[in-house]
């Protein structure tokens, strides 16, 4: 088989591996200066190895089983890529109905991503969001992803604000809280347009409780965040119930 680019070749083999229920990795790449001349793509169970994760933490650890499945791709003189060697046999069973659960083949569609973003903005928990996808699909097996993928997408994309956006979003959050309850209190001090200098907030319930129970107040500023080097001081009120 001949392809116009190496990316098309890899994409084709990845699609085939999904149908055959295995995942792939690049074993070797040969270059001539900056140009790639040939590449070996193999099954991820190639070689002989075993996961170092303790069986008590992972009941089904990954292992290399000397799987021979592979393709060898090289560039022809005319600038096209050809598959010159193919091994289809595997040293391990492949289960097509579970192909979607292989990490390489898990994928979030545009619809799923937009839904996750909408739910996150509405304050819906990731677990509830995932269960809504399961209910719509009919079962977990019908989805091409797991709950961890939903959480990872939220952490990586939805909440991945820049330092400038972070301060703005924090200010918007405090304003939303005071809209919900006028007894919510905050003061926000910015340096320039987007750098937080000082921030203080107290929710309505804590303020009301403090009116009744003023027994103990502790003030602690020993915590320092790694990312922004901001001191976080927490006021902790303790009532007579301890």
- Cα atoms in the 13 Å half-sphere on the side-chain side of 121: 9
Q: Hey, what are 185's tokens?
A: 């209190």
**For position 186, what pLDDT does the model report?**
92
Does 231 fall in a domain? yes
**For position 108, what pLDDT does the model report?**
77
Number of domain units in the chain = 3
Q: Hey, what are 99's tokens?
A: 């192909």
Looking at the chain, which runs of residues are DSSP E strands?
2-3, 24-32, 35-43, 48-50, 63-65, 70-75, 81-87, 185-191, 195-202, 216-224, 231-238
**For position 11, what pLDDT does the model report?**
86
Identify the domain boundary among 123, 143, 158. Answer: 158
Taking each helix axis from N to C end, the angle separating 110-121 and 126-137, rounded to the nearest 10 degrees, works out to 140
92/114 same-domain check:
no
pLDDT in tens, the chain (242 residues): 888 888 898 889 888 887 888 888 888 888 888 888 889 998 888 877 666 655 554 455 566 678 888 989 988 877 789 988 999 888 888 776 665 556 666 667 788 888 988 888 888 888 899 899 888 888 776 677 788 888 888 887 766 655 557 777 888 889 989 988 889 999 988 876 667 788 888 888 888 887 887 765 676 665 555 555 667 777 777 767 77
**For position 145, what pLDDT does the model report?**
78
Which of 127-141 are b and which e, b meaning 16 or more Cβ less than 10 Å from the residue's Cβ?
A: eebbeebeeeeeeee
CA 96 to chain centre: 25
Does 228 fall in a domain? yes
Does 164 fall in a domain? no
122/189 same-domain check:
no
91/117 same-domain check:
no
**For position 47, what pLDDT does the model report?**
78
86/118 same-domain check:
no
CA 150 to chain centre: 7
**For position 164, what pLDDT does the model report?**
59
CA 121 to chain centre: 17
What range defines the domain where residue 193 resides?
A: 181-237
Does 166 fall in a domain? no
50/95 same-domain check:
yes
The span from the CA of 78 to the CA of 127, in Å, is 52
Contact 83, 1 (CB under 8 A): yes
89/127 same-domain check:
no
Does 105 fall in a domain? no
CA angle 205, 211, 216 (to 5 degrees): 95
Per DSSP, what are the bridge partners of residue 3? 81
């Amino acid at each position: 088989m001949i392809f116009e680019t190496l990316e098309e070749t890899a994409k084709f083999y990845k699609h085939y591996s999904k149908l055959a229920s295995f995942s792939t990795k690049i074993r070797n790449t040969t270059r001539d200066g900056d140009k790639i001349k040939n590449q070996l793509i193999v099954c991820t169970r190639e070689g002989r190895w075993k996961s170092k994760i303790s069986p008590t933490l992972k009941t089904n650890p990954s292992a290399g089983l000397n799987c021979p499945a592979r393709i060898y791709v090289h560039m022809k003189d005319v600038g096209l890529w050809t598959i010159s060697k193919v091994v289809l046999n595997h040293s391990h069973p492949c289960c097509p109905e579970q192909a979607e659960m292989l990490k390489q083949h898990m994928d979030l569609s545009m619809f799923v991503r937009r839904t996750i973003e909408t739910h996150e903005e509405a304050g819906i928990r990731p677990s509830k969001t995932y269960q809504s996808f399961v209910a719509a699909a009919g079962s977990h097996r019908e989805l091409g992803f797991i709950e961890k993928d939903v959480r990872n997408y939220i952490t990586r994309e939805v909440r991945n604000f820049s330092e400038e956006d972070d301060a703005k979003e924090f200010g918007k959050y405090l304003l939303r809280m005071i809209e919900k309850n006028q007894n919510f209190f905050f003061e926000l001090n910015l340096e320039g347009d987007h750098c937080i200098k000082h921030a203080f907030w107290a929710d309505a319930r804590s303020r009301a409780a403090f009116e009744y129970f003023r027994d103990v107040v502790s003030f602690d500023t020993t915590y320092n965040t790694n990312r922004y080097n901001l001191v976080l001081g927490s006021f902790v009120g303790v009532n007579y119930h301890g």
